[in-house]
Structure 1
Amino acid sequence: MKKYFLLFSLGLSTLLANDKPQDAIQFIGPDGVSNLVNENEPNKDLSWAFKEGVLTVGKGHVVTSMPVNNFKAHIEFKVNSRPNKNNKRANDGNSGIYIQQRYEVQILNSHGHDDDYQKDDCASIYKFKKPDHIVCKPAGEWQSYDIEFHGAKWDGDKKIANARLTLIHNGVKVHDNVEIPNKTGHGKKESPEVLPLRLQSHSNPVQFRNFWLQEIK
């Protein structure tokens, strides 16, 4: 049975989180973690803790052990609630998925912020575009991203086409083939070099599970 149903009322398509392709690369699964390394110390043991199918953010970013360019991916995450005296959203359940270490899909505890949603809230393309629909779940509940990404195209050192991103958040399409004209936030500068995907450490114990990626043309 399909995990997510077509949302007729919104006219949105969905991606099936349970339909993992046979050729997909598994990064986080029920039995362990593979193909992920520390960004700055790739030869050392992974600095994030894994237990019972869940990887919890620790010290330092982690990245895929291979570069990523055109792909479909599924990842599930759970944000923490971290109230603080300064009431800064950036301190509450913060992490992110940096595709090619350049383009960030934000992870944040943004549930309940619908009336004041920002371009750095959950499911935003960081400080570039808010999601078309807000479907955040409360902290402590598992959420999902289904991603389709096509890397920028280059003719030598000249970019001839922007990167493109489609994102489905909790079964709802929130970005539809959006062109991303440049790196976002603290992402690395665009270039013809294809880079890994980064899971961000932002001093919050965000958790991840069931992360896989399929390379596409």
Structure 2
Amino acid sequence: MKRLASFRVLCGLVLFAAGLSVAVAAEPATSPEKADEDFKFQGEYAGTLNRDGERTEQGVQVIALGGGKFDAVGYHGGLPGAGWDGSDKVRASGQLKGSELVIANAEGDAKAVIRDGKMTISVDGSELGTLDRVERKSDTLGAKPPEGAAVLFAGKEADLKNFKEGARFENGGLREGFTSKQEFDDYKLHLEFMLSYMPEARGQARSNSGVYQQGRYEVQVLDSFGLEGADNECGGVYKAKAPSVNMCLPPLQWQTYDIDFTAAKYDGDTKTAPARMTVKHNGVVIHNNIEVPAGTPGGTQAEGPGPGPLFAQNHGNPVFFKNIWVVPKK
């Protein structure tokens, strides 16, 4: 049991800066080629550990903080949405040392070392096991629009005609800050997005955008990889509902939102029923037919009757979108 206890001590070391806002010292990286040396260590690791003769699945998310410093979050049973049993997460901190990332407890009897895409965890010099770096992809990535869909962006600069002035095309993607010309009532939305890599930023300064249904109700877009999964983090319905599980993948990986949206109902100017939505983030349901009691500040219009556009907020951080289509509900 000492090994298990020491492992928990290791994972309990916390360098927790998720809620802080600090100045960004480097330009956001919009491709792996533009990222720093820390980028190749950041990501998800999964595999089997042998703890006192018991083999258990383990997932770990490693988050770059800049300057060779990292957070690590452990999940018993596997990664979020892929085996994690929902038990308490364990957090640790690490430091880059040469070509290795080393995470160790204060006593030095437990450590994890990442080298060449593998995380080896040991206690008292004995290995518990090795986790492999994995790159998950959403089941709905690349989904094809069905018949009757309004295809807003299919990866071509010519698709800018579907958006109001100010929409930007870059490297095959649509940048944050767009507003669709077409407006919608009830619908199903598919879109894909990629967060920029901003390791020295914190909290709301870390690759921030947001997708507004009807220009009124925001589903947050943020680099929340490894964070708690609050309502103002990726997948949250801003100021209304936190996601049931934080499904945010690391920056510079394409992610998906699939949103089934039902508009608020009005009798004249009197609201008789709130808006509702079901949200899948990377193929996993994180909101199931929830009520959205009010509109979100910062949209294109206040809550009210009538249709509205698809709007992606611009917070000054590079965020890329692609494969955007809407199926109106009859």
- Same fold by TM (over 0.5)? yes
Q: Indicate the structure (1 or 2) with the bigger Cα radius of gyration.
A: 2
SS in 2 for 1:144: strand
Q: CA RMSD in A?
A: 2.2
Under a length normalisation based on structure 2, what TM-score does the superposition of the two structures give?
A: 0.55
Partner of 1:3: none
Contact preservation (8 Å) 2:195, 2:251: yes
Q: Distance in 2 between matches of 1:25 and 1:34?
A: 14
Unaligned segments of structure 2, at least 5 residues: 1-80, 85-138
The aligned residue for residue 239 of structure 2 is 127
| AA of the residue aligned to 2:235 | A
1:51 maps to 2:191: no
Q: Does 1:72 align with 2:188?
A: yes
**Secondary structure of the structure 2 residue equivalent to 1:196:** strand
Does 1 or 2 have the higher relative contact order (CA < 8 Å, sep 6+)?
A: 1
Q: How does 1:62-211 map to 2 (within 5 A)?
A: 62-84=178-200, 87-113=201-227, 116-187=228-299, 188-211=301-324
**Aligned partners of 1:34, 1:102: CA distance in 2, in Å?**
22
* Alpha-carbon contact 1:127-1:185 (below 8 Å) kept: no
Shift of 1:107: 0.2
- Between structures 1 and 2, the one with greater helix share: 2
1:133 to 1:26, Cα distance in 2 relative to 1, 3 A: same
TM-score (norm 1): 0.81
Q: Which runs of 5+ in 1 are unaligned?
A: 1-6
CA contact (8 A) 1:17 1:146 kept: no
Q: CA deviation at 1:109?
A: 0.2
The total of aligned residue pairs comes to: 194
Opposite residue 27 of structure 1, the aligned amino acid is L
Report the CA distance shift for 1:160/1:132 in structure 2 as closer, same or farther (over 3 A).
same
From the two aligned structures, give the one with the greater strand fraction: 2
For residues 153 and 168 of structure 2, what CA distance do their matches in structure 1 show? Answer: 12
Percent identity over paired residues: 35
Tell me the secondary structure at the aligned position of residue 189 of structure 2: strand
Cα shift at 1:9:
7.2
Q: Using a 3 Å threshold, how does the CA distance of structure 1 residues 50 and 15 change in structure 2: closer, same or farther?
A: closer
